[in-house]
Structure 1
Amino acid sequence: MNCTYHIDSSVLLVCTAPHQCQFQRRLCVECQYEHGENFKNHTVPTKIFQQKVLKKLKESLLNETSQITTQRLNFKQMLALTQSKLKQIWEELENSIKLIYDQLEREENCFKNFNNVNPLELSNTELEKLVQIITGKPLDDWNDQKNSILKRLEMTKNYWNQETEAFCGKLNKEMKEMLELIKKDNSPQHNFQNFKKGRFVLGLNLIQNL
């Protein structure tokens, strides 16, 4: 393409000096001369400039893509590991609770089985248990132990419920804050992405117009 200021001259150079060009950055040899010696080292042939831009954009995009892919994979692995741990804890808790309640029911049924029985038909061991119930404190001791265990289980249930609610609340808050990052048009992250996107498009347009 021909120079805007020197119509008979072709654009051969691009000015990369860190200043606001008095002329456009597309330069012909006459523009380079008018720029002066101070900017001679900042003028790059269009072909070399194109190669540098493409190399820089390629390196930048590849690095960003690699970083995003790596972090996405790490996040996915962390979520899978957390899910596995929570599942294991949940199963162990469920099995422990079942074991405790099953044991309580068995002990309770041991006493209930003596209802409406004929003492004369019982074995000596079973008859001895009935005597202990009447003359001793095994039934009272059992009720005290049972009530203590049930109270402890109720406390455990309330604790897990509170901790689960708090944990879910923190997760929901964190997710909302993360989603806000992509919802706020004026956020620094959004502006930075727009800047990079604009710089990328500008670079491609500049290359195409050379």
Structure 2
Amino acid sequence: MNLAEGVQLVSFGILAALMLAAALGVVLLSSIVYSAFLLGLVFLSIAGFYILLNAGFVAAAQVLVYVGAVNVLILFGIMLVNKQEDFRPLPHALLGKLATGAVCAGLFALLGTTVVSTPWAISSEVAIGDRAIEAIGMHFFSDFLLPFELASVLLLIALVGAIILARREFIPDLDAAAEEQVLTLPERPRELVAAGVNESDSE
């Protein structure tokens, strides 16, 4: 094992431990804000895995799309809702936890079987590095141009919908008289003098 392979192995171990710890924090912490921040850490760890695989474009897309868009949108949604609700124990919570654990164990077994049975040898025909970025760009602007543009329009619609749903209009509970009184400026009282009458005539 040379130095480069050792650095890659150590980096893989650090990123794997960081991703697993952050993923456990996402599902185990009671604060949803902390869970959202740890989800961003999970996405960053996955981007680190892509860098180790010499897939720089996919790593940059991971950071831009998932960390810069999806995770930020989740945080905005949490902070805009700002719903305060006391914790109440759910009935049959143990049964739900057992069902969730069984589903997670099944997914883990399925993914583990897929990892073991998949041949991971890199073919010489697959473009890697800068050649992969060129190939992806050519496919984006030729074969997959329409789905690419439709995805951007869909994200724009989702952004506009989120802004409309999060918009709050504050209407104060004031009646017409009180509102008119608030908007009226106080004036100094003055005497009314008829036109064409001077002070000597009035005396």
Q: TM-score, normalised by structure 1?
A: 0.22
Higher helix share: 1
Q: TM-score, normalised by structure 2?
A: 0.23
